[in-house]
Structure 1
Amino acid sequence: TVYQRDSEHLQHFGIDFNVSMIVGGQIAGERCRLFQMYSAGNFIEAHNENSYFQIGEAKYGKPIIDRVINPQTPLDEAAKCALISMDSTLRSNISVGLPLDLLIYETGQLVVSRFVTIDEHNQYFQMIRNSWGGQLKAVFEGIADPVWDAAPEATANVLSSVGLASQPVRMPVPAGLAKQGAKGGHAGLQTLAQQEAGSQQN
């Protein structure tokens, strides 16, 4: 790797390169390119199968991007998706907070045409925070609850088919607890959750 090749030379100058970053841009006459640089010094480039990168606290905001973004997504829709992604992160991780910087680069412009710093007073971001949560809840409530122990051919949305119910994994009761339960005349702490002796597991 790049780290193995160059780290010894850099350490002579007290330099340890261990930063991760996303670098994107365009050289006149060439296409836009986007790279994710890893702490070891190697990198990957965005392509049609992987059209975006995230660094930092990424897990909370990733699902909406995975479902929405593709290479044909218009920039304004991509910006909207990015802000929804950040709103999800802000709601789920209190260590992440405003302000946010949003930069949009348009192919062939060779200049930054759109940039905004978003704080708690930003009108559009507040609209997203309010409407996205409400609409997400409405969609959730519109999805049918699961149906248990029913025949799929007789009703819809069956989660557990009649006659095919599975059982959770059961662990043997530790010998010490089993003896304590027997002496006390009542079931031990774990035995209440145990499967009856000799019963079948699916």
Structure 2
Amino acid sequence: MLAHALLAEQCGCSLIGNLLGDFVRGPPPQHYPAAWQNGIRLHRRIDGFVDRHAASARSVARLPAGQRRWARVALDVYYDHLLACDWARYSSLPLAQFAAGVYAALDQHGAALPPNLARFAGFMASRDLLAGYREPEVIAEVLMRMAGRVRRPNTLAAVFPDLTTARDGIALDFAQLFPATLAFARREVTARAVQPAG
């Protein structure tokens, strides 16, 4: 979530729309503002780009075979941890200030958000979760919570030690992946901004 928020800010796309991408299934709801709909679509294209990128595949391969089925879900969270830990490399705005801006934007639009995002936004702000991503124990807790919400059997609750063991290699992957993803997002926003209507 932290990476999607920063990508939205740095490529000039809707923050709310990008964050909605994890909370809306199917086509973007037509009653949402166009910017939100475009943000949802961009979020999904970013996810596809990350999944196909060689650096992401290397990160998956760094985990034990038994963890790989759920590796991309776990890495999505762990990449946020690496981003938070090395925040000044990617943003001139202090992480605490950026996080507060995200919470404020979600609160401002709370009545229009789907209930699952509205609930998570409140929890996220109350725990200052985005800034908390710097702390390993917060990441371990997030993965545990995710494991409990997934209805299928999964390995998310047990993956954190393996992520920690592979941290240096995954950090190298992320240092290549994030700038490439930002460049991709900016190209996507630019390409769609200049397309004729219709």
| TM-score, normalization by structure 2 | 0.29
User: Which structure is larger by alpha-carbon Rg, 1 or 2?
Assistant: 1
Bigger fraction of residues in helix: 2
Bigger fraction of residues in strand: 1
